[in-house]
Structure 1
Amino acid sequence: MKIIKVLTMVAIIILGVLGWRWYSYVTNAESPYNEVGIELNSRMPSPIRKWGCDKLHETFGNVLPPYGCQADGNGQQWL
């Protein structure tokens, strides 16, 4: 029973750290091309990824979208 509690706590901590890292990328990024942020954002479920891409587009609207935020095949349009 104790191992289940430990594994649950570890899972919660990992999810919290990854969630914080993703949120800090989409809201306070100095660049939309941060490798870790791009990877985390591209693996999010569609509604969450769309929200993240919208926040990035608000901040960096005049640059090419990062991977995961591209709406077309040639990578020119934001989601």
Structure 2
Amino acid sequence: MKKAIQILCVVLIGVTVMIGFRWHRYVTSSDTPYDEVGITLNGYMPGPLRTWGCHKLKERFPGQLPPYGCAGPDGRSWA
């Protein structure tokens, strides 16, 4: 039983690291703010991380429309 819990913990940590890395790569070095996987992952992030991600995307793509989840009330301005 102890071995199964240990394996489960390692798998959960591994998945968390992979998802976190993919999200961070989207926010800091994506070619476009409209990457579907990145937008989805950003939507699942806790509020402070999502806000930071949207702020970084706004800095990197100032002249483009914001992706879903980073738009203001009108849908055309950054939140």
* Interval of TM-score (by shorter of Structure 1 and Structure 2): over 0.9
Runs of 4+ in 1 over 4 A off after TM superposition: none
The alignment's TM-score, normalised by the length of structure 1, stands at 0.95
Aligned residue for 1:78? Answer: 78
Aligned residue for 2:56? Answer: 55
The alignment's TM-score, normalised by the length of structure 2, stands at 0.95
Q: Output one character per residue of 1:24-78: Cα deviation in whole Å (capped at 9) or x when no partner.
A: 0000010000000000001111110000000000000111100110121x31111
Percent identical pairs in the alignment equals: 49
Q: Equivalents in 1 of 2:65, 2:44: separation in Å?
A: 19
Instruction: Give the number of equivalent residue pairs.
Output: 78
**Over aligned residue pairs, what C-alpha RMSD do you find?**
0.7
Q: Gaps (5+ residues) in structure 1?
A: none
